[in-house]
Amino acid sequence: MIADRHPVVLRGLSSVLGDHPDFNIVACCSDGASCIEALRNFAPDIAILDVSMPDVSFLDILSVVNSENLPTRLIVFTASDQELGPLLAGAADGYSVILKDVTPEVLVRSLREVAAGQRLLALPSSQQAASREQSTIAENALAALTDREQQIMRLVSVGLSNKEIGRRLNITDGTIKVHLHHIFQKLEITNRTVLAALAISLNDRASPSEDKPEQPIWSD
């Protein structure tokens, strides 16, 4: 279900989700009363809600969902993270947040994550930009690593020592040190703790999606 006071947003969301067969839009609402009626009649899996619906507040809608034990997962769709302060203070749990400046691809992925049971809270715009930039830098750096260097990076991330990695890959301890030196240079880091954290972060972002196979980005 989609609920927004702006017709262009309703049409835009309908167009984006209409391109994906795993989404079925059961209702589009432009006010709070029709939103609550649709929630009761259709009990959709997820509902995308404007944070400032006319005539009924988001907190009222959340209260209806909770008090009537409706199965719908609510998503606040907001244009600005500055609107979230009062909402976060009064609503506690029970909803997710997606900012309206996300790309269609990120929106679709986020909705699938919420439908699967995850709770999403939007980062402030400045943090989102920084996160995207760091992600791009890390992924570009990863692309510069050889297959062997990626293997070693993965094994470091699970806590293996140089000797243990050498035995696993049937190469000498000295060769491992050379590979690590090259990895540190390419990724512009200085120690294996940072390397392990980066490896775990990259592997987490490579979770299965419609375009990715269900496997980690590194394999032995």
Topology of the domain covering 2-122: Rossmann fold (3.40.50)
CATH, range 126-205: 1.10.10.10
Contact 168, 214 (CB under 8 A): no
Amino acid type, 118 = Q
H/E stretch holding 82: none
Please give the DSSP secondary-structure letter assigned to residue 77. Answer: E
Task: Please indicate, yes or no, whether the overall pTM of this predicted structure exceeds 0.75.
Answer: no
- Domain ranges in the chain are 2-122, 126-205
**pLDDT one digit per residue (tens) for the chain, 220 residues:** 999 988 999 999 999 999 899 999 999 999 999 999 999 999 999 999 987 787 888 888 888 998 999 999 999 888 765 555 555 544 556 688 888 888 888 888 889 888 888 887 754 444 445 455 555 656 666 778 898 998 998 898 888 889 999 999 999 989 999 999 998 888 878 888 778 777 766 665 554 443 433 333 343 3
Give the span between the Cα atoms of 4 and 48, in whole angstroms.
8
Would strands 46-50 and 95-99 be described as parallel, antiparallel, or unpaired?
unpaired
